């Protein structure tokens, strides 16, 4: 958990999606541990639109909703086994990790998990295509 000085690299489309999931997980955990409520899928999609707009990026609403749903899934998986104190610490580390100059093992580990989650969602067939 140290501050490093490095210039952020331009993000790929995939990298932007992973970062959105990560940021939404951090926000969901913070909201859950501080207020006892989970953000809705719509709230997550709106937050992601605001964040993307800051960097002059856009994603369609359907994709933002999908990323929001993925972040909800991961946030709840993270929160399930953690005490409130551990959850607050994890949420804090994730929020700090949104700063590219902040290095955190927890943040890096959860970023990899966000990447896995996105990759799994991309490779999975849409639910409508699954046999009944």
Residue 90: inside a domain: yes
- Closest by CA to 22, choosing from 35, 125, 14, is 14
**pLDDT value for 87:** 94
**Long-range contacts of residues 77-84, Cβ cutoff 8 Å, at least 24 apart:** 78/25, 78/29, 78/110, 79/29, 79/32, 79/33, 84/33
**pLDDT value for 6:** 40
Residue 131: inside a domain: no
The tally of CA atoms less than 13 A away on the side-chain side of residue 51 is 18
Give the DSSP letter of residue 36: S
Residue 101: inside a domain: yes
Per-residue pLDDT tens for 100-128?
A: 899 999 999 999 999 999 999 988 766 55
Residue 132 clears pLDDT 90, i.e. is over it: no
Residue 3: inside a domain: no
Per-residue pLDDT tens for 11-34?
A: 688 999 999 999 999 999 999 999
* Residue range(s) defining the domain that contains residue 82: 13-123
- pTM beyond 0.75: the answer is yes
Residue 77: inside a domain: yes
Per-residue pLDDT tens for 68-79?
A: 999 999 999 999
C-beta of residue 90 within 8 angstroms of C-beta of residue 82: yes
- Predicted confidence band at 8 (pLDDT cuts at 50, 70, 90)? very low
Provide the number of structural domains found in the chain. 1
Q: How far apart, in Å, are the Cα atoms of 65 and each of 17, 25, 70, 117? A: 12, 13, 9, 15
Residue 8: inside a domain: no
């Amino acid at each position: 958990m140290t501050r490093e000085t490095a210039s952020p690299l331009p993000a790929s489309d995939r990298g932007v999606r992973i970062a959105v999931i990560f940021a939404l997980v951090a926000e969901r955990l913070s909201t859950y541990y501080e207020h006892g409520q989970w953000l809705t899928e719509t709230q997550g999609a709106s937050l992601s639109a605001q964040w993307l707009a800051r960097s002059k990026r856009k994603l369609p609403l359907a994709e933002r909703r999908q990323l929001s749903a993925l972040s909800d899934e991961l946030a709840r998986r993270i929160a399930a086994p953690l005490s409130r104190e551990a959850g607050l610490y994890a949420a804090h580390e994730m929020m700090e990790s949104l700063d590219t100059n902040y290095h955190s093992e927890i943040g890096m580990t959860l970023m990899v998990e966000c990447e896995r989650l996105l990759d799994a969602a991309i490779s999975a067939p849409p639910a409508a295509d699954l046999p009944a």
